[in-house]
Structure 1
Amino acid sequence: MSQPFIEARNVGKQYGQDIILERVNIQVQEGEFVTLVGASGCGKSTFLKMILGTEQASSGELLLNGQAMPNEPGPDRGIVFQQYSVFPHMTVLENVVAAKGFQKASLSGYLFGKEKQQAKDEATEVLTQVGLSHALNRYPHELSGGMKQRLAIAQAVICKPRILLLDEPFGALDPGIRADMHRLILDLWKKHKLTIFMVTHDLKEGFYLGTRLWVFDKLRHDPHAPNAYGASITYDLPVGETQDSLYQEITDQIRPDSMATEQTETVL
């Protein structure tokens, strides 16, 4: 097998005395789509931030193409949050052009002349891909929640990242819009040959999207010191090959209280 695109070697993360992650060991090839599930506070978003470069490992090694993961964000890694990171005073088109401009080394990120026109052309193409070609001149306050999230995705994709990080991007959307967003993100994944990591609290969503699912949980617990041990990846599953009994086991693990009486549904 070729060298992993991303590799974690015994990675741990802690803040002071609080241990968030420990003994994380994974290998990911370029082009995979990994979904991350687990109880709130178990380190899923922290791991995403470590890939982004806004957080660093406290122990172990996190590698990108065999080299240490850069300790700051770069254009090779895009991220989309649940809360829309758009500029309210800019139109849809201007928002995406601005995202392209921020790739520049200058403080302002302003584009001029041919460079600006090229960015507009690229932004229009990306906005067409995400279904916003009819809304180029609208402002964010004129958009629905689903349209704002499409805009945030366009901002990330125009920078042509190799890695796209999604931190619960569809959590605030209703089921019908979420289904549309699922189709969109799968289309973009294939079209742009992205490597995607997506945090979700929806186990069904985690099994539906992508190629691989990770479950974050603590293997060791101390009731007197809840932060004495960190979470690790307790399941690493190929999507679509999970039995109902294992699906229920994972459901009970990540939502033991609210899901106790819920009947398991078959995951296709």
Structure 2
Amino acid sequence: MLASQRRTTILGLVEESGAVRVSELVEQLGVSDMTVRRDIEQLAGEGLVQRVHGGALAVGTRSTEEPGFTAKSGLMQAQKIAIAETAAQLVEPGAAIGISAGTTTFELARAVCTVPDLTVVTNSVPVAQLLHESGAPGQTVVLTGGVRTPSDALVGPVAVTALRMLHVDRLFLGVHGMDARAGLTTPNLVEAETNRAMVETSRQVCVLADHTKWGTVGLSTIIPLSSVDLVVSDEGLGARARTALTEAGAELMTAAPRTRFDRRRRGTP
């Protein structure tokens, strides 16, 4: 396959799914990791895709477009893990927390699975499955029920009804996008309603979002920035975003991805 054909294929895959991972492209195109990264860099230079850590995103993604859980899980992975590990420090044994659907919140579930006597309310199928299989003794998982979305969230009236009967200390909320005017958004109208019900169950709202979420606006607003208590993001979050969050009254915590040396020292891959 010629280089131009490869790039056309990559562009088509990005436009179709909204996001692609380098590892998937390596396998599908039968070329090296470096070749794929060069192709993505050229497409990004031409303004055709947005280059992110681990893959590429569609440029000018439609406000109703909702990439699936698998497509998003490999993007900005180091940042998501760092955000999750930072947020996990807020979770104490015996607490009741909410975890919304999303790939960053899934990493949070992985980070808190060893916390004893934890009660987790979630509308995420992957989060519930992870905690069911790996959770510490005494953990309780409450799965809301509802209709499953492409992001593996359970949404709709069943989920909302269940959530209105529950109360948690802190909600860890994943979002499709953050914007100074639009607030926290999602492409899915029903998921926005369900997430608002999750917000209403919680005494504190903590948003987990890497810096690429800033400036992205989905179809439906979940809540305005002024309703957010805390945002955990990565060091790539820009100055304007930090100012907007501060002015809205949200506390900001930033997380730095671990280096390879740190990962080797802690025995992680």
TM-score, normalized by the shorter chain, greater than 0.5: no
TM-score range, shorter chain: 0.3 to 0.5
Identify the structure with bigger relative contact order (alpha carbons < 8 Å, sequence gap 6+): 1
Using the size of structure 2 for normalisation, the TM-score is 0.34
Using the size of structure 1 for normalisation, the TM-score is 0.34
